[in-house]
């Protein structure tokens, strides 16, 4: 009763607020549009720069009226770009698959089974998550060097094959799967691995989508560790190769921007495919706490 | 036959969790736990490349305390963290609040627009911004000139006083939308009925924000503060590529760059490990302090 009267009274009793109701959204949308323009300007500039001739690059702030493929020709003539792209695709896909497999399996075990050593394992995992990875650089380099794997892809694939963060994400999502579903599978004669493959993985699809992007992005953009262990140019991934090109052709701005644009596209494409799962997966851990 | 079968089924069920965690545990122990323990040992060694090492006690740590470069790196990293966290968070929260209004049109477009820089890796951002910061031709100087009439010749990356603002600005561009996603999720999780109850009690917009919104998003806000602090302390790629090194007067030397230079250019893995552990201690101390100050462990959050 009280509530209804207040609701009914408000617009009449407060004409100023009613006016604000029309002005405020207008203002907010204006602010949002301006901010979006500022955020997107560097990316738009990048796209324009990749298609501008050297003379036009700084002559026109954004797009030039004479778009050209000049930068791309320079880029592909000077450097084995296809090789770098293939390297990056191989390393990032392999790391993503490895991390997906190890994280979903371990996440399943930690969510749905009781086994010896489970508590201490989880404690150690959480403890290592608190520790920044840079402390591992020197000892891992020493280990990889001892194994004779410097300047090979094993140096990237072995230490990168697992993600503690990924296991925690998968464990949280698999905890939501009802036990009855798994028991039904067991009654039907499924082995535990078939339960993982035919029940757990399909129902965790949103998490698989989210983690695929998280893992792929991390691997694709990874720089410090590959910079330390890769020495041969034919093994370089895109971030390493592009950083190298800055020193080699510092005046070829346009070609560098073409390379940068090319390097961003695969992640952007994957994001376009998986954005819904990604944004939900990103925050799920934090919101559920 | 059927006995056999039953023991097989019981066995595979018992063995399953061990087999499922085995790949992870093997890699985790070899490439995380072992190197971690090894790095404690390494931190007390003087090494020349990966092969030779001599025990030197606390010498690495004592040398660090006396090395002006370490203090420069620590100062730069701390300033970067302070500014990027304290500029990012209010802006991220502000954006999330604007987007959370029920009548906002094109929410998905704005969300994507603000988030998209996060998809670009730090190395690629650094390459792009090395041109955006150029004097005369760069987009930033042109925009500042067009809007505020500032001169076009600001040398963002060559002036020791401007390097840090340039780094903070770039990280703002990269992470403001990323943090906004967290705040937006938190805001959408706040129970709408609480706002109605507050309105019935005659609470103003500001009071609603203070007594309903703030407590509702507090856990995520603390999470975002701690995560962005940890991330900021690990700054490396951005200055390393943007300035091709520590920058004028070491103005962009960060702790991780210092670690990289001593460990992998000079070849002293022992000293690099010592720096790594100092970074661990700094990050743990700062995040524990943040958790305590923000009352993360109080029951009523």
ipTM comes to: 0.89
Residues of A in contact with B143 (CB under 8 A): 41
CA angle B59, B63, B66 (to 5 degrees): 145
Predicted local confidence at residue B120, as pLDDT: 95
Q: Which fold has domain A73-288?
A: MetI-like fold (1.10.3720)
Instruction: Report, in angstroms and rounded to the nearest whole number, the Rg of chain A calculated over CA atoms.
Output: 26
pLDDT-derived band at A8 (thresholds 50, 70, 90) equals: very low
Give A123→chain B minimum CA distance, Å.
12
Rounded CA separation B234/A194 (Å):
41
Instruction: Give residue limits of the domains in chain B.
Output: 2-59, 62-293
The per-residue pLDDT for B254 is 96
Average pLDDT rounded to a whole number, residues B87-99: 94
**Predicted confidence (pLDDT) at residue A121 exceeds the cutoff of 50:** yes
DSSP string, A59-72: TSSS--SS--SHHH
Query: Each residue of A22-54: pLDDT tens digit?
Result: 788 889 999 999 999 999 999 999 999 999 998
Where does the pLDDT of residue A3 fall: very low under 50, low under 70, confident under 90, or very high at 90 and above? Answer: very low
Q: How confident is the model at residue A16 (pLDDT cuts 50, 70, 90)?
A: very low
Asked if A256 contacts B104 with a C-beta cutoff of 8 angstroms, the reply is no
Query: Residues 183-242, chain A: which have Cβ within 8 Å of B?
Result: 186, 191-193, 196, 217, 220-224, 228, 239, 242
CA A144/CA A156 separation, integer angstroms: 10
Determine whether the interchain pair B122/A32 forms a contact, defined as Cβ–Cβ distance below 8 Å.
Answer: no
**How many C-beta atoms lie closer than 10 Å to residue B99's C-beta?**
21
CB–CB contact B132 A106 (8 Å): no
Residue B134 has pLDDT above 70, yes or no: yes
Predicted pLDDT of residue A6: 44
Instruction: Answer for the pair B42, A139: CB distance below 8 angstroms, yes or no.
Output: yes
Residues 6+ apart with CB under 8 A from B175: B84, B88, B92, B118, B228, B231
Contact B56, B270 (CB under 8 A): yes
Q: Please tell me which of the candidates B104, B122, B128 has its beta carbon nearest to residue A28.
A: B104
Averaged pLDDT, A1-30: 58
d(CA B18, CA A116): 9
Q: Output the average pLDDT for chain A.
A: 88
**pLDDT band, very low/low/confident/very high, at B172 (cuts 50, 70, 90):** very high
Query: By the CB < 8 Å criterion, does A40 face chain B?
Result: yes
Q: Return d(Cα A138, Cα B277) in angstroms, integer.
A: 11
Q: Cα(first)–Cα(last) distance of chain A, in Å?
A: 38
Look at residue A20 in the predicted model and tell me its pLDDT.
52
What six digits make up the tokens of B70? 């370490």
Contact (Cβ atoms closer than 8 angstroms) between residue B270 and residue B45: yes
Question: What is the pLDDT confidence band of residue B298, given thresholds at 50, 70 and 90?
Answer: low
% of chain B beyond a pLDDT of 90? 61
| Average pLDDT for A209-226 | 95
pLDDT tens-digit series, residues A63-119 = 888 899 999 999 999 999 999 999 999 999 999 999 999 999 999 999 999 999 999
Closest CA to A138 of B113, B53, B172: B53
Q: Do B241 and A246 touch (CB under 8 A)?
A: yes
Task: Output the average pLDDT for chain B.
Answer: 90
| B12 closest CB neighbour out of A191, A228, A243 | A191
Task: Spell out which residues of chain B touch residue A131, defining contact as CB-CB under 8 Å.
Answer: 36, 280
CATH number of B62-293, picked from 1.10.3720.10, 3.40.50.720, 3.30.930.10, 1.10.287.990: 1.10.3720.10
Whether pLDDT at B300 is above 70: no
* A247 close contact with B: CB closer than 8 A: yes
Alpha-carbon distance values, B174 to A50, B92, B232 (Å): 21, 11, 12
- Cβ count within 10 A of residue A251: 8
A16, A142, A147, A216: best mutation site toward chain B, by most B Cβ within 10 Å? A142
The per-residue pLDDT for B137 is: 85
Kindly state the tokens that stand for B200: 């019935």
Question: What are the C-alpha distances in Å from B82 to residues B79, B87, B117, B168, B256?
Answer: 5, 8, 21, 10, 17
């Amino acid at each position: 009763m009280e509530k209804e009267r207040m609701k009914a009274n408000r617009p009449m009793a407060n004409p100023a607020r009613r006016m604000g109701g029309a002005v405020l959204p207008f203002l907010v949308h204006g602010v949002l549009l301006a901010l979006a323009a500022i955020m997107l300007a560097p990316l738009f500039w990048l796209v324009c720069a990749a298609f501008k001739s050297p003379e036009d690059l700084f002559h026109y702030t954004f797009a030039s009226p004479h778009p050209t493929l000049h930068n791309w020709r320079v880029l592909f003539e000077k450097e084995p770009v296809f090789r770098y792209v293939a390297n990056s695709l191989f390393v990032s896909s392999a790391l993503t698959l490895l991390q997906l497999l190890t994280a979903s399996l371990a996440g399943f075990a930690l969510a749905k089974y009781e086994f010896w050593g489970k508590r201490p394992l989880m404690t150690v995992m959480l403890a290592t998550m608190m520790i920044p990875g840079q402390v591992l650089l020197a000892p891992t380099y020493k280990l990889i060097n001892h194994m004779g794997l410097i300047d090979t892809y094993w140096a990237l694939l072995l230490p990168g094959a697992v993600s503690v963060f990924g296991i925690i994400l998968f464990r949280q999502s698999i905890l939501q799967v009802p036990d009855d579903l798994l028991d039904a599978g067991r009654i039907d004669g499924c082995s535990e691995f078939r339960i993982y493959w035919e029940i757990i993985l399909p129902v965790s699809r949103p998490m698989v989508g989210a983690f695929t992007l998280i893992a792929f992005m991390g691997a694709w953009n990874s720089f410090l560790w590959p910079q330390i262990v890769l020495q041969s140019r034919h093994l370089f991934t895109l971030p390493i190769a592009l950083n190298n090109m800055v020193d080699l052709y510092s005046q070829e701005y346009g070609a560098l921007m073409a390379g940068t644009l090319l390097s961003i596209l695969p992640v952007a494409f994957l994001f376009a495919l998986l954005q819904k799962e990604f944004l939900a997966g990103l925050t799920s851990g934090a919101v559920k706490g | 036959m059927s006995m056999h079968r039953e023991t097989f089924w019981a066995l595979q069920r018992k063995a399953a969790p061990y087999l499922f965690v085995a790949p992870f545990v093997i890699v985790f122990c070899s490439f995380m736990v072992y190197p971690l323990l090894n790095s404690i040992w390494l931190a007390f060694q003087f090494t020349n490349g990966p092969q030779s090492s001599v025990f030197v006690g606390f010498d690495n740590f004592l040398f660090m305390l006396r090395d002006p470069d370490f203090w420069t790196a620590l100062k730069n990293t701390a300033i970067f963290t302070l500014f990027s966290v304290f500029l990012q968070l209010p802006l991220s929260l502000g954006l999330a609040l604007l987007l959370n209004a029920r009548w906002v049109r094109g929410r998905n477009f704005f969300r994507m627009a603000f988030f998209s820089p996060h998809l670009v890796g730090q190395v690629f951002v650094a390459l792009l911004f090395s041109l955006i910061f150029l004097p005369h031709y760069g987009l930033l100087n042109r925009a500042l000139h067009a809007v505020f009439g500032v001169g076009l010749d600001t040398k963002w990356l060559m002036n020791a006083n401007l390097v840090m603002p340039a780094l903070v600005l770039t990280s703002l561009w990269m992470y403001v939308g990323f943090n906004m996603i967290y705040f937006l999720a938190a805001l959408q999780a706040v129970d709408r009925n609480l706002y109605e109850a507050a309105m019935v009690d005659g609470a103003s917009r500001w009071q609603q924000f203070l007594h309903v919104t703030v407590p509702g998003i507090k856990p995520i806000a603390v999470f975002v503060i701690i995560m962005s602090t940890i991330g900021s302390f690990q700054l490396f790629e951005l200055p390393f590529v943007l300035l091709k090194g520590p920058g004028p007067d070491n103005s962009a030397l960060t702790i991780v760059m210092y670690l990289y230079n001593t460990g992998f250019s000079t070849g002293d893995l022992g000293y690099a490990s010592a720096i790594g552990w100092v970074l661990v201690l700094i990050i743990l101390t700062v995040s524990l302090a943040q958790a305590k100050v923000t009352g993360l462990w109080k029951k009523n959050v």
